Structure formats: C-alpha cells, structure tokens
C-alpha cells in the first residue's frame, strides 16, 4: 500500500480524459476569443477588494453535510472536482458546509457565492444579507438543487429566477436559446451530453432574466441582473455524470467570470495572461494509476518565484519564500532552536538509499535571517553523514532526530555551528519501509518527546510491538509509550495549546483525536481494548488547484497525508487560534486545513479545503509548523514523483518498475536538487518581537509564559524543566494563585505551562504541602482548559493523594475534565467509596463514547466493589445505562457479570432470583452477561434457570427486551413487549447480514487487485507471510465477499491485537459505501478465478494427534476441510499453515471474533478455546495440511 511523506494513492475523481485539460482544452481560457462587454460600476459592497494580488476571484462554495451512502448532491465530492479547474483561472474556492457566512460582513469577503446544497431554512437576517450582497454588486451562482432551497422565501425564489418543481433522470443535451449564441457566456461554448435530473421549474421570475439554454422547452441555464449584481443559474449538477465533465466546469467558470462583472473579470484575465508557462515532455516512468488518456506528461521544475506565481493561498495571507535550493534540498522536517534559528532536515537518500551503518548523504542545515528581510541569508551545515532522517525536536541545547532504526541526540558544544555530539539514544525502530518510520517529533506539555510512527513500527517496553500511531518517550530516549492507535501509516501529530493530542494518517483518514490514551487501556480488561483513537474528519477529499496530480489510490483524497500541526499563536485571525490544523498532501500540491469544533469529550474536524494550493506539479508540502514569528512555515519537498509504493506494473501504472531497499519503487524522475521553505504570512499581523532565550535567566523564562506564541512558551518550559530551574517554583505557584489571564478563546496559557513546569520540577503533587494552595487554585480555575490540565498533571504525578484530588473533579462542568477525573479513578486502588460514587453518577457521566469508555475503566478498576453495589439493588439509578455506549457488551455491568459468573460453582438460580429487587437499567445488561456466560461455556441452561431469567425479562421495557431477544436467540424465552414489525427493523439495523452478490466484473477485479491488493498479497495472490497477508488465489467468492464486508463493517480489523487486520481494514478505505458491493464482488470473482498457489510447510505438529482435535471442527468445516457455504465456514485445506496458526491465535486471544454481531466469529472464538495449548493448535494445523494432499 501507499503511505505518507513521499507517497501516493487512488480512486476516480474527475473523468480521466481531463488530466491535461489545462493544456489542450478551451476551458483553460474560456473567454480568450470574446469581445468583452464593458459595464462599468464602482466596486460593490459585496465584492472582495482587499486582495493585494489583483485579479484573483474569491469564490465561496456553500455546500451541505450530505455524505456518501446516506445522501445526494454530494457537495464535498463535487466542490473539490470543480476546484481542479479553478487554479489555472486564478479563482480561489473556499468551501463551507453551513450558512454562517450569510451576513453582511461574511459575504463581503467574496466576489462570488455559489450555492449547491439542500437547505430548508433561511433566516430573515441571512436572506437580507444575501439580497443586499447581490443588490450591491455581488455575484450569486445557485446551482441545481439550490433552486429547491428555502421554499418559504419568495424573495430567494425571485433572486434565483425560478423554483424547482419536479424531475426525472435521463440522458440529454441542452440547446442554446434562440438569439443567445453570442451571449458572453455561450460564445464558443458547446452544449454537452450528460445524464442528469431533468428539472422542471415553476414560479419563474422573468424580470431581468435571460434564458441561455433549454432542455427541450424547459429553461435550463439562465442569468439575471438584480440591482448592481448578477445571478447565474443552471439546473445541471445532480451527480458525477455532470460534475465529472470538463464542459460543465467550463460552463461554471464562464458563469463566474460573467457574474463578477467586467472590471473584476478583466483584471482576472489580465492576471491569467501573466502566469508562467510550464514546459512539459514525455517520460516513461510517470505512474498512471488514474488511467489518464493521454498519459500524464512530465512537467519540468520551476523557479521558486514561478512556482509561487502558480500558487494560491487563502485570502488575507501571503506566501513568502524563506530559503530554497541550493541552500537546502528535499526538506523533510524542521524546527527552531531557542534563538529562533531554523534547522532543516534534508534527505537526498530518501527513499531507497538505505545504508546498514546509517551513514549516508543527508544532513541538517541551519538557516537564519540576519538582516530581518524575511529571507535566509546565512545557511550552514549543522550535521551531515545522516541517512534518511525523518523528524527533529529541540531539547537540552541540541536536537533529537529520528533516523530509523535509531534516535540520535545531536548538539554543538563548542559554538562552531556544527554538531560535535552525536549519540544514539535508542535503536528500536523498524526499517522495513522508509516512509513508515518515526516522524513529527515534538516536545509535549508533559515534558516528554512525542511523535508518530507508521507501519514499520517500534518496540515498547509495556505494550510490545506497536505500529501506525502516536507515542511519547522520555527525553533520554527511554520509556517509549504508545499513546494512540490509528488505522494506517501515520505521519502526523498535533498538540494543541491545552494539550489535546491529534494525529493524521497517510491514507483517507486525515484527522484523529485521542480522548483516552492507549496506555490507560492496554492490558486492563479484555472487554475494554485500546482500539482506535477517534476519527474526526468530516470528509477526506482534497481540493487540488489542478487536474494534474499523481495518486495511486483513493484518488482525490488524502493519500500521502503529512503532518497535523495546529495553529498555536495569535498572528493569524482569531478563527485560527488553537482551532485550525494543517495537513500536507504532496501528491495534490496543497496544504489542507481542518477547523476543530468541540464535540463532547472529543472534536469534529471540519474539512475547509486548502489554505495553500498550486498548479505547479512539483509543489509538495510535507511538513508545516508555527514559527517563532507566529506565522506558518511550510516545507516544500518539491518533487514530481511522490509515490512510494506499491510496485508499478504495466497493467496498473503503465510501466514496470523495481522496488528499492526502502520499499519504494525505483524511479529516475525522483529529484534530489530542489526544495523550499515558505512562510505563510497573515497580512493583518503586526511584527513579532524577536526573542533569544539561549541565555535567559529564570525570570525571563517564566515571563515568556505570557507570550502569545506556544513555540516560545514551550521553549521556555523545556529549558526550565530540563535545566531543573527549581528557583522558578515560587513564581509559578503565584501564577496559579494569582489573577487569571483569560484570552479571547477562553484559555489562560500561562497557567497551563505553569502547571506542567511545576509537574516537571516535581512540585505539582500533594505529597508536598507547599504545593497544595497552587494545585487547589488550578483545579478551581475559571478556564476549563486549566482545570483539565491540573487533573492530568496530578495523574502524571500519580501518588494516592494526587489521584484522590484528581478524582474529586468528577462533576466538573467540562466534559474533558470529567473524562480525566474518571481516568484518575481508574488508577486508584479499589475502594467501596469510589464504586458507590460511580454507580450514583452512572447515567450522568457516560455522555458519549469516550466518557463511557473511561467510566468502564474506572468501574472495572473497582470491580469487586462495583459488582457488590450492582447486586445490592437499593435506590434505583435514574437514566439510560446505555447512553454513550455503542453496544450492551461494552458496559461495565455486562463485563463484570461475565467476569463474576464464569466460575464453575456459580448458582445461577440464586443469582437470578436475587436480581428481582433491581429495578433500573443495570438489570438487562447484567442478565445479558449471564446469557453470554452460558454461550461461551457451551452450557445448556436448565428449565429453572430459564424460568428465573424469564421473570426478569418480563420486567424489562420493550427496548430492553428487543436488544435481549437479538442476543438470546436460540433460548426458549418470551418477549411479550416486543412488536414483530419493530423487531424486524431493529434486527435489520443491529444484526450483521452479509450480502453476496453474483454481479461483479473479473476485469474490474483484476484492476482493483493490482492497485490495492498485489503489494501485500503478491501478484499471483499467493500471499506473503512477512506482511501477514494470506493466499487469496482460488478462495471461494462468497467467503471473500463476506470477509470484505466484515472488515468494512468493523467486525474485523478493529481489535488492537489484530495488527494485520487493522492494516487490512485501512486498505479497504478506497471502497466507499456506494461501491462496496460491486467492488467486493469484482475482487472476489477475480481471486476465485486464480489457480491456487501451493503453500510451504512452516508449522510443525503431530497430524495424528491433530486429527483427534479436528473432530470438533468437522461439523462446520467438513471432514475433508472444504468448508460449508450454508454455515459460512471457509475451506481450510490448502490454506497456508502460518495463516491458520495466526488466526487461531487471534481467536484465542480475543482479537478476532470479539464483535457480538459476528456470530460465526464468536462461535469460532469459543471453539478455538477447546484446543488446550499451543502444541494442540499446531497439531490440528498439521492434520489440516494432510487434507490438502488428498485427492
């Protein structure tokens, strides 16, 4: 598969014939031959006038939150498609999914507003703002379903020029309305054929309206003039059949250029004429996974100045070059020292020049601006002889650098600007793939070093092998601690100002949040596995400025996602402060942005397109960070070839390639001569005072906590802690006990850094009485972020007194503070008092998934006492015990019932009878635990036990009975409150039902297999043991389809112990909901058609003894091991013995078959435990291998 920093990926975005449209289609200059009308008017109220780069048109695209599989008019898919046509036209698209910009101030930022959505309500103030915007000269472009919006607003209907009435769906070609052939929009335009909804309109407003095209006799595309403004409408645009056509983009661009008026259009056309022209030539090794015809051409590199001319940044910002080749090349990452000097990690060895002795051709260069003009005028090599370094962080006067398999500490001790100290501080990082190692190093609030690691992985002391996630470690390189599991190759880490942890992955999952750290979950209980962090992105599409981009997979989405760096200063406008994150997508030549919105104990990350995007096909942002000046600095890898793996073949990519030592395909077009570092500067920012903390005294460092840039605050904190400046402690305490300094977004950064500095100096613990006043003040602080960090710091200190005080914040009004208080309870010694408090607050605390998980951890920690409290009955706890839980099996009541009732001497009749005094929502969950104990233990309950269980069921409400019925199928129980029709709907929603399709194309399957599967399962589908990929060749079509659907539904590939499964599930992200059945069926049909590949013997066992164990397998898999379609039991004979061994181990460990929806998986998990030991497992596998040899 593909990964991140230099990587690539696939899936259709725009019609492939459009790849080179900018070079050979009139869409690029749709008004080139026109004689433009001159309609002069003053710059309107509604038009953007603040852009220094005259001629750029600012377009607001307003979509909605409809998503694949559950909606239509998918604006989040089609707006990025349109974006690909706009870069060469210097039209800057900003994407929103709400109407929040429909204010006078909001609309005034844009030259044009395009609406493509389904909305019902338009508030009076929003209506007035829109009407005023147009009346005062703004451009409005309602597209397709926009004519069905705001049906209650007659003024809106009049503005649009008509209202949607009805539609069919068919293929058609519109015709030009009589007399409109020479209209500015249509001159030179050719109507096109498409399949679309055939809109019929009513309530036509012909005042100021000119109909341009007709579908039959139905007005289809028209324009209006209202006040000083203009309106363009077209009924085109239901789905990709139209949005994927270059001609439709041509029409929309013509509409935009007409709507903004002559003055703005003329300025735009003048700007476009001045743009540098790239030089193209044919090359034979350009990966053409998108099947573009004609094949993509090689763009020659551009100077930094020409590249910037082809690049657009969000309005209000300016891209400034800081340093470029030859001073630096191939920048991977960067940081600054305590003097604010830039240190750039460069790698010409990436991706395939891997040296066993770790001595290579890479380096770290120090660059500084000595004259204050914003450009580096002095660069010198700080360290060389490196080999594919990937991350850097400043600490202790030097730098920690990740360079798998090692982490290095480099330091200049004699002042000559070169590292004379080079120490290896650990050597535990995988080297299987050079774009899957450690990266994105940061110094955290907790005074640890943080980073991300991809699938090459690492070894941790307490959690074993770990890959694809986030970690922290001590500054000396010890105590590596996995913190978050993500779902694929990880190359992004973000720490917010209030110490929330975020991450990103390369492929189709660009935004993650870590509400509950993995170290709190790992090994605590089988029922509370670490699982994944919270995936929070609203959608994963990218917004390129050009059609010309190379991706292997998930086309048009994040496939080489790089970084997730939050904006943590105050030079940008307030909307960015601690709320925006930036992620590079080098394959699409852009830096994307997400805006974070609190969502209970986690966040939602709203995809807001690109903050920087380019039509230069070399621009490749791979890292960004907030610099000492408060601006955003960007590393541009500047390369035409980003794609790492898989191995291109003639069929998949247009040429055959070889793989190199770094597990990247060898390509002569990879460049090692270019690279740039840019600063994205806010035009409204005031100059930032330059600091030098290299020799700062303690007072100055503490004072720096008042700086509005987290870079300087964290630098000061690091120096105070690492240099053990204990003389700061009194002043730090005073910050917490003194007056709060709350900023505009509700943070008091001084207090947060004071807390963690005290903690790092050993002075934020109740073990020392002198600390008590400051700690108590922090816990009562007016800012929730400060209170939250106080609780977390007490957890880090970890004494009994600290945990008790942290746990006392259980009823804080802030959800994230409550979550950490629950985690504090989960670290305490078990107690009756804690258990009783948890039960009293049971339904108040589990407001969402992550609070529920933290609560479960706390309840299990105090399990004996909590179980006693549950059984005691007493006062009923009001509220919903399932609130926050996705399933009954996740609740502590269910889990503890399983734990306590699994013994041989349990008297179920006595237990069930005693539960009759329980009258709240805990009872159904505990009773369900009983059923699970019976099922897992293969126990047939007695009539009396069923009678006692039935007595409890009779007291359940209808919802509880419905859930119980689904889980207790097969037992002779009655559910008298359940209506048959309601249960049918419930069953449809919560029971997993695979759909095996007879449709599907082997040719499509071949294409999908080569693009998505061959890199792991091998070209002949014979599998790869090293990658944990089984043989698929000849596997039954039905079984492949069912397993694919289980991965997609989350029944497989979600347990933290199932590393291969997690990777497999991530690899299926290319299958969007509407494609799942067809793609799955096509893949399955293809692999079934392949000849089986003989597998080597790797497992040694006694087949004769194994035959005795296999008796328990016969009922489902058959005596011949050929499986049973009706029972969904796959063939075993002929499958690789190593794979069978691994799967049995997963079943036994609970890593597979753990999901209650997976009935067959749960049965297999139960049956696997019949095998008494490891040797028995090997013996039964040895016997299965004998079945493969029988004719």
Q: For 695-713, write each residue's pLDDT tens digit.
A: 999 999 999 999 999 999 9
With contact defined as beta carbons under 8 Å apart, do 977 and 999 qualify?
no
- From the list 453, 389, 193, 394, the residue with the least C-alpha distance to 463 is 453
Instruction: For residues 183 and 290, give the distance between their C-alpha atoms in angstroms, rounded to a whole number.
Output: 36
Q: Which residues contact 873 (CB under 8 A, 6 or more apart)?
A: 917, 918, 919
pTM greater than the 0.85 cutoff: yes
User: Which residues are CB-contacts of 653 (< 8 A; sequence separation ≥ 6)?
Assistant: 287, 288, 289, 552
694-828 maps to which CATH number? Answer: 1.25.10.10
Provide the β-strand partners of residue 59: 93, 112
In three-state secondary structure terms, 653 is helix
Helical packing angle, 749-760 and 772-779, nearest 10°: 140
Q: CA 280, CA 23: separation in Å to the nearest integer? A: 10
pLDDT attached to residue 51: 42
| Domain spans, the chain | 35-273, 428-535, 694-828, 1094-1191
Q: What does the angle CA 1169 – CA 1172 – CA 1176 come to, to the nearest 5 degrees?
A: 105
Element (H, E) at 171: strand 169-173
Cβ atoms of 260 and 57 within 8 Å: the answer is: yes
pLDDT recorded at residue 553: 83
Token output for 317: 């910002």
pLDDT at 46: 35
- Residues contacting 866, CB < 8 A, separation 6+: 835, 838, 839, 859, 860, 892, 896
With residue 980 as reference, give the H or E element that holds it: helix 980-990
Any alpha helices (H) in 237-283, and if so which ranges?
240-243, 246-259, 262-273
Q: What are phi and psi of 96, to 5 degrees?
A: -125, 155
pLDDT on residue 208: 95
Matching residue, tokens 């006692």: 948
User: 144: Cβ–Cβ under 8 A, 6 or more apart, which residues?
Assistant: 73, 116, 197, 199, 234, 235, 236, 237, 238
For residue 148, give the DSSP letter.
Answer: G
Q: What is the pLDDT of residue 854?
A: 98
Runs of H (alpha helix) within 656-811: 698-703, 710-722, 729-737, 749-760, 772-779, 784-797, 800-807
State whether CATH 1.10.760.10 applies to domain 1094-1191: yes
Dihedral in degrees, nearest 10, Cα atoms 46, 47, 48, 52 = -150
Stated as kind and residue range, the H or E segment containing 323 is strand 317-324
Q: How many helices (H) and strands (E) does the chain have?
A: 39, 41
Give the mean pLDDT per block of 10 residues along the chain (1191 residues): 31 35 36 30 32 84 87 93 98 98 98 98 98 99 98 97 97 98 97 98 97 98 98 98 97 99 98 97 94 93 98 98 99 98 99 96 98 95 99 99 98 97 97 96 99 93 90 98 94 99 95 97 88 94 97 91 98 98 99 98 98 99 98 99 93 93 97 98 90 98 98 99 98 98 98 99 97 98 99 97 98 98 98 97 96 98 97 90 93 97 92 95 96 85 96 95 87 93 84 77 84 83 86 89 85 81 78 68 89 90 90 86 86 90 89 81 83 91 85 52
pLDDT of residue 45: 31
Count of C-beta atoms within a 10 Å radius of residue 210: 16
Residue owning tokens 């077009």 = 669
Same fold, 35-273 and 694-828: no
For residues 420 and 379, what is the distance between their CA atoms, to the nearest angstrom?
18
- Give the integer Cα–Cα distance in Å for 393 and 333: 10
- pLDDT at position 69 is 67
Choose which CATH entry (3.40.50.720, 3.40.50.11780, 3.40.50.880, 3.40.50.300) describes domain 35-273: 3.40.50.880
Close Cβ partners of 363 (under 8 Å, ≥ 6 residues apart): 346, 381, 382, 383, 384, 385, 386
Work out whether strand 229-234 and strand 218-226 pair parallel, antiparallel, or are unpaired.
antiparallel
Name the helix (H) or strand (E) containing 988.
helix 980-990
d(CA 599, CA 595): 13
């Amino acid at each position: 598969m593909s990964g991140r920093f230099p990587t690539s990926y696939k899936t259709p975005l725009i019609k492939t014939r459009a790849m080179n449209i900018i070079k050979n289609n009139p869409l690029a200059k749709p008004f080139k031959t026109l004689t433009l009308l001159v309609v002069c008017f003053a710059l309107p109220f509604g038009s953007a006038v603040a852009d220094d780069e005259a001629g750029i048109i600012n377009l607001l695209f307003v979509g909605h939150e409809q998503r694949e599989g559950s909606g239509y008019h998918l604006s989040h898919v089609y707006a990025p498609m349109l974006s690909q046509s706009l870069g060469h036209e210097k039209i800057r698209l900003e994407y929103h999914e709400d109407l929040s910009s429909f204010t006078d101030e909001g609309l005034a930022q844009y030259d044009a507003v395009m609406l493509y959505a389904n909305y019902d309500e338009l508030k009076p103030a929003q209506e007035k703002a829109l009407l005023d915007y147009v009346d005062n000269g703004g451009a409005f472009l309602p597209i397709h379903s926009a004519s069905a919006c705001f049906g209650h607003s007659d003024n809106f209907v009049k503005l649009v020029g008509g209202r949607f009435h009805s539609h069919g769906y068919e293929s058609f070609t519109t015709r030009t309305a009589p007399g409109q052939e020479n209209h500015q929009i249509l001159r030179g335009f050719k109507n096109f054929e498409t399949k679309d909804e055939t809109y019929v309109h009513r309530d036509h407003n012909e005042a100021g309206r000119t109909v341009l095209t007709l579908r039959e006799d139905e007005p289809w595309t028209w324009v209006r003039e209202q006040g000083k403004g203009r309106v363009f409408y077209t009924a085109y645009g239901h789905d990709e059949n139209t949005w994927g056509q270059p001609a439709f983009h041509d029409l929309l661009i013509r509409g935009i250029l007409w709507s903004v008026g002559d003055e703005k259009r003329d300025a735009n056309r003048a700007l476009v004429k001045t743009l540098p022209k790239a030089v193209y030539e044919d090359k034979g090794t350009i990966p053409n996974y998108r099947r573009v015809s004609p094949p993509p051409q090689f763009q020659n590199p551009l100077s930094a100045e020409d590249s910037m001319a082809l690049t657009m940044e969000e309005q209000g910002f300016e891209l400034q070059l800081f340093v470029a080749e030859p001073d630096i090349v191939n920048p991977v990452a960067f940081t600054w020292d305590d003097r604010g000097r830039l240190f750039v990690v460069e790698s010409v060895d990436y991706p395939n020049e891997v040296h066993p002795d770790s001595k290579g051709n890479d380096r770290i260069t120090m660059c500084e601006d000595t004259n204050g003009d914003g450009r580096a005028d002095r660069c010198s090599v700080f360290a060389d002889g490196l080999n594919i370094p990937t991350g850097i962080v400043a600490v202790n006067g030097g730098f920690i650098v990740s360079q798998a398999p090692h982490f290095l500490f480099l330091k200049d001790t004699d002042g000559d600007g070169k590292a004379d100290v080079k120490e290896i501080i650990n050597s535990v990082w995988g080297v299987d793939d050079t774009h899957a190692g450690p990266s994105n190093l940061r110094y955290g609030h907790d005074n640890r070093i943080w980073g991300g690691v991809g699938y090459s992985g690492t070894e941790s002391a307490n959690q074993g092998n770990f890959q694809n996630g986030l970690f922290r470690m001590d500054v000396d390189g010890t105590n590596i601690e996995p913190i978050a599991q993500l779902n694929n190759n990880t190359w992004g880490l973000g720490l917010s100002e209030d110490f929330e942890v975020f991450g990103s992955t390369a492929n189709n999952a660009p935004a993650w949040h870590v509400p509950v750290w993995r170290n709190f979950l790992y090994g605590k209980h089988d029922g509370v596995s670490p699982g994944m962090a919270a995936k929070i992105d609203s959608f994963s599409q990218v917004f390129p400025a050009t059609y010309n981009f190379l991706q292997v997979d998930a086309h048009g989405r994040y496939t080489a996602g790089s970084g997730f760096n939050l904006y943590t200063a105050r030079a940008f406008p307030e909307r960015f402060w601690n709320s925006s994150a930036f992620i590079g997508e080098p394959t699409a030549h852009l830096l994307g942005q997400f805006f974070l919105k609190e969502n209970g104990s986690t966040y939602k990350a709203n995809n807001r397109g690109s903050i920087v995007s380019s039509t230069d096909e070399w621009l490749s942002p791979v890292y960004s960070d907030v610099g000492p000046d408060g601006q955003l600095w960007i590393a541009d890898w500047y390369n035409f070839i980003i794609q790492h793996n898989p191995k291109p073949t003639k069929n998949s990519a247009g040429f055959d390639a070889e793989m190199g030592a770094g597990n990247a395909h060898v390509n002569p077009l990879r460049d090692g001569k270019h690279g740039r570092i840019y600063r994205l500067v806010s035009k409204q920012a005031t100059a930032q005072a330059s600091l030098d903390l290299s020799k700062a005294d303690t007072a100055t460092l503490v004072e720096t906590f008042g700086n509005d840039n987290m870079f300087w605050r964290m630098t000061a904190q690091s120096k105070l802690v690492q240099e053990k400046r204990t003389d700061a402690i009194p002043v730090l305490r005073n910050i917490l006990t003194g007056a709060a300094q709350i900023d505009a977004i509700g943070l008091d950064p001084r207090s947060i850094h004071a807390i963690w500095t005290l903690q790092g100096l050993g002075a934020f613990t109740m073990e020392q009485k002198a600390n008590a006043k400051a700690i108590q003040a922090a816990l009562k602080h007016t800012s929730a972020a400060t209170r939250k960090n106080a609780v977390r710091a007490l957890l880090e200190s970890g004494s009994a007194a600290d945990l008790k005080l942290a746990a006392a914040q259980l009823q804080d009004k802030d959800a994230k503070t409550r979550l950490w208080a629950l985690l504090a309870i989960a670290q305490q010694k078990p107690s009756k008092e804690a258990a009783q408090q948890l039960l009293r607050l049971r339904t108040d605390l589990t407001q969402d998934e992550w609070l529920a998980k933290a609560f479960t951890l706390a309840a299990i920690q105090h399990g004996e006492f909590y179980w006693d409290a549950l059984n005691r009955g007493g006062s009923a706890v009001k509220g919903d015990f399932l609130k926050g839980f996705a399933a009954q099996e996740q609740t502590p009541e269910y889990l503890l019932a399983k734990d306590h009732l699994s013994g041989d001497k349990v008297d179920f009749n006595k237990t069930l009878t005693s539960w009759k005094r329980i009258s709240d929502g805990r009872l159904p969950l505990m009773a369900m635990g009983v059923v699970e104990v019976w099922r897992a233990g293969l126990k047939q309950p007695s009539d009396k036990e069923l009678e006692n269980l039935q007595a409890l069921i009779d007291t359940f409400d209808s919802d509880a009975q419905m859930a119980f019925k689904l889980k207790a199928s097969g037992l002779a129980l009655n559910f008298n409150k359940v209506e048959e029709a309601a249960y049918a709907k419930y069953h449809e929603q919560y029971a997993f039902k695979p759909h095996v399709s007879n449709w599907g194309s082997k040719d499509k399957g071949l294409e999908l297999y080569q693009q998505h599967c061959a890199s792991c399962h091998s070209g002949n589908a014979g599998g790869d043991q090293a990658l944990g990929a089984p043989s698929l060749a000849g596997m039954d079509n039905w079984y492949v389809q069912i397993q694919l659907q289980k991965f997609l539904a989350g029944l497989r590939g979600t347990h933290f112990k199932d590393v291969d499964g997690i990777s497999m599930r991530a690899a299926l992200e290319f299958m969007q909901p509407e494609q799942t059945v067809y793609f799955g069926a096509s893949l399955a049909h293809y692999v079934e058609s392949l000849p089986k590949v003989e597998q080597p013997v790797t497992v040694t066992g006694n087949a004769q003894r194994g035959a005795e164990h296999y008796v328990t397998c016969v009922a489902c898999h058959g005596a011949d091991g050929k499986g049973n379609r009706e029972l969904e039991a796959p063939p075993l004979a002929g499958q690789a013995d190593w794979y069978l061994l691994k799967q049995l181990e997963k079943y036994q460990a609970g890593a597979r078959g753990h999901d209650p929806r997976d009935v067959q998986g749960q049965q297999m998990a139960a049956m696997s435990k019949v095998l008494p030991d490891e040797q028995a497992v090997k013996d039964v596998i040895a016997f299965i291998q004998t079945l493969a040899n029988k004719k």
